[in-house]
Structure 1
Amino acid sequence: MSDDPTQVREFFGARAADWDSRFPDDGPAYAAAIADLGLRPGDAVLDAGCGTGRALPPLREAVGPTGTVIGADLTPEMLDEAVRAGRGKAATLLRADVARLPLRAGSLDAVFGAGLVSHLADPATDLRELARVVRPGGRLALFHPIGRAALAARHGRRITADDLRAEPNLRVVLAGSGWELGSYVDEDDRYLALAVRRSE
């Protein structure tokens, strides 16, 4: 699939209504990844590319009633499904492109992005925009409920050396975008890269 924002929106818009039913067992994987993000009560966190909002309730639970949870997505149909599923109660929902977030610089403690990296039109620039809205020392979690090999197999493809999600490639792009990769897991049942916002 293309990473052009219009095509991304069309792709996910057409699949929004049955998205959750296609992946009904991902909840525990989301919760485990959010636990590893190390959020504290009162933190402010963005779910970038929140889709139907599966991460929003566990994010809300992690930051508590005094915290801030924002879900941003490019696709209005996905945000509609998040509201329909009752997940809008856990967060403020924004229709926004992660390349141009309507958020103040340094206003967040963390960003969570599930399945996000492969859909970024300009990964270096878009990751820099995520860094802009996170305070120095804040965290970024790039997550997928299955690893790169399992995901490629699901789509009838093989992993290639130029895959942005491969550790060496991701480390370089993150470093050039204001992040430092701290930990990296790519297993059949989990992909999770955790990075820290560097002080500039």
Structure 2
Amino acid sequence: MTDDHTHVQEFFSVRAAEWDSRFPDDGPAYAAAVGELGLRPDGTVLDAGCGTGRALPALRTAVGQGGTVLGADLTPAMLEAALRAGRGTSGALLLADAARLPLRAGALDAVFAAGLLPHLSHPEAGLLELARVVRPGGRLALFHPVGRAVLAARHGRTLSDDDLRAEPRLRPLLAATGWRLDTYTDEDSRFLALAVRTG
């Protein structure tokens, strides 16, 4: 395990038990973002960096009982919190690094990733891995329940164009890793970048 992985695990391990209670009103925002992913019944979708699994019920609803929903996270305590919240019934939970997934190439129709990008130690490699496991024409949703400005203020920072999620940085990063940015929304109430797997 790398030092970056250890740092991520330490950060989320101490917050896992109270994560959902810190952000109790995010459910509708997750459901709305999943709705824009364009999942079909019987589809296959991964929640990369699923945390406590808040997106899993909406993903299950989108693909139906015949679909496949996977949730992968690097932090055992977050997966344990997902199980305690009953979200393991919505999808299979995997202890896995989003940058090294135990999935075959092209196995997925889509990836949903809430708050994942800033926690990838090597964002380009992580996005390449997500592209590897998604079929051509499949979709990626990079989501956060608040926009960049609100999130920066929450952490006592000013909004910066150096942020990977800023459109001028994100668009070429996605293009270099097998994705085409389709729509980009950065409002106080949410951040949502939808991309299509090229090739």
Matched, 1:107 2:107: yes
Shift of 1:156: 0.7
Equivalent in the alignment of 2:179: 179
Q: Deviations over 1:11-44 (max 9, x none)?
A: 0000000000000000000000000001010000
For residues 5 and 122 of structure 2, what CA distance do their matches in structure 1 show? Answer: 10
Identity rate, percent: 72
Q: Deviations over 1:32-72 (max 9, x none)?
A: 00000010100000000000000000000000011000000
For residues 99 and 33 of structure 2, what CA distance do their matches in structure 1 show? Answer: 23
Shift of 1:189: 0.4
Matched, 1:95 2:95: yes
For residues 53 and 113 of structure 2, what CA distance do their matches in structure 1 show? Answer: 11
**Residue 4 of structure 1: SS of its match in structure 2?**
helix
Equivalent in the alignment of 2:60: 60
For residues 139 and 5 of structure 2, what CA distance do their matches in structure 1 show? Answer: 25
Matched, 1:122 2:85: no
Shift of 1:5: 1.5
Shift of 1:161: 1.7
Equivalent in the alignment of 1:44: 44
For residues 165 and 105 of structure 1, what CA distance do their matches in structure 2 show? Answer: 26
Q: Deviations over 1:153-174 (max 9, x none)?
A: 0111011121100001000110
RMSD: 0.8
Partner AA of 1:33 in structure 2: A
Equivalent in the alignment of 1:81: 81
**Residue 5 of structure 1: SS of its match in structure 2?**
helix
Shift of 1:93: 0.4
Shift of 1:106: 0.1
Query: 4+ runs of 1 displaced by more than 4 Å?
Result: none
For residues 133 and 173 of structure 1, what CA distance do their matches in structure 2 show? Answer: 18
Give the count of matched residue pairs: 197
Partner AA of 2:126 in structure 1: D
Equivalent in the alignment of 1:140: 140
**Residue 182 of structure 2: SS of its match in structure 1?**
strand
Partner AA of 1:57 in structure 2: P
For residues 17 and 190 of structure 2, what CA distance do their matches in structure 1 show? Answer: 25
Structure 2 segments unaligned to the other structure (5+ residues) = none
Equivalent in the alignment of 1:153: 153
For residues 185 and 32 of structure 2, what CA distance do their matches in structure 1 show? Answer: 13
Partner AA of 2:18 in structure 1: D
Equivalent in the alignment of 2:21: 21
Shift of 1:4: 1.6
For residues 17 and 141 of structure 1, what CA distance do their matches in structure 2 show? Answer: 26
For residues 5 and 165 of structure 1, what CA distance do their matches in structure 2 show? Answer: 21
**Residue 143 of structure 2: SS of its match in structure 1?**
strand
